Structure 1
């Protein structure tokens, strides 16, 4: 099958959305599907205001229409609500192509951290965007919340973890005082990192990742080790060396990195919010508490084997099968294509 995936989130960004789309695309190609990825590296870009690591594509619906007309995809999936996502949405509606979308990120909440934008306005805009799709895929962790906000129709799309890369590595030598508490991810305001960095914990705290708050937080917390962004084998080794993974975010819709930590045999400490509530079984692969420090100390007592076993339930193959089943196939559902042309 010929599948087009349009996304504003792509390499060199490092986040759960990019990981999910990359692994899904790799799995689809491995199964023999033909993919066209519409990503920022195909177009001229400009830096996103307040977040220069993110590049915004300078393209038009007309340019996307030409690409789609030439390639003739069987299915189109729009993964993000950025400029590339809007241009692809417009192009599909203009030529009558059915498409699906996915909801990955709490843009309204993240936008409000930078601009005084009312949540009601931002969510109305997102509902308009996704309302033109035949289906909107979302992590099971957030479907009920989106349904309560009026998003429809919604279908689940879970996530996977590379258990070959992210695995326990007993006896790994690490120069640190134990216990070692780590955070891995973007160093950005929406990740609520001070809630972790301010904790009075024994041993050491490490932050693995990069982002717009990196320099400021590194200066503000000189006793915390900031490693910068890490990748592949080195990232997996550092994660496996930790005693507890501390996840201070209050806004993540899933938390793929929680699965990666568990796959390494590392228990998670987090707030009892969307994402962690779905992935963490209290006292088995992590601890949830409104007092994050208390959760981190309790997590020290958990079985690393049990953490690994919980992560092994998630695979990219299962995730990709779910994605395939959610797609709108154009040659098979012309009525849906016509409906998409007039909705939203």
Structure 2
């Protein structure tokens, strides 16, 4: 509001420019257009009369001579009427333009206020960010619709940029997880989280107030926690941006959701392998008989329980593959790794009896 008033004041404050609030008869332009020709005409008539030797009279001949001699000054004086009318029309057009500007500003302000109220009701009812703490609804609105006060209720393009960046980071995390699952690299959940671009966390915070940094700074940050909260934040932002007039593709949350499901599935698969490898090492330490070079009967029974608990409803070939990856990639000690392979190979487990 103050910016608009300052701009108008600077525009109309120039000398010689009509102000829509001024009465017509007080404007410089109107007075010049009316009195300018009249004064000019009077000066010419007086100058001509003083320099002429003719005497003034009211006869028809005198009047005819007067008109013949002074028709140019009279014509100039006659310009006061059309010039005054043009100036008045121009003044009315300025007033009309100002009324349009004022009405547009009032409409924008009304629309902005109503849109903001509807947004607040929407956020309170739908809870697009679930139970995660964000900015209050007013701050959230101003961040998502920065140009609403000027009549533009399209959401900021930053939301779409953040969504694309999150998809990019998720794709990178999926590739790292695939490399871990295939045994090409060791699993480091902490590294996956810390490698995420800082721009993503800052951009999310600036738009909705969700701070993901504490997850990274926590004692045990996980990829699922990080991307889970980032997914909720970006999905919430897109939901808010589209709450009345869809302006961001609804496919983006679907793509992010599918990527997050893949990250979750692959991370859980890796964690199962890690858990099984730890359980297997514990069984070896507790139930291994060096003289028989194998586990005790109780140890094998516990091994079957561990497999059934870890790999629920999984096909036999997949279970064997998971066990092989667990031993190969998550038992660091070479001697224990060889021993674990030997025990698993000798177990003769009937996988159908496990479930």
**When the two structures are superposed, what TM-score results if normalisation uses the length of structure 2?**
0.20
Higher-helix-fraction structure = 2
Higher-strand-fraction structure = 1
> Which fold has the larger relative contact order, with Cα–Cα distance below 8 Å and residues 6 or more apart in sequence?
1
Larger radius of gyration: 2
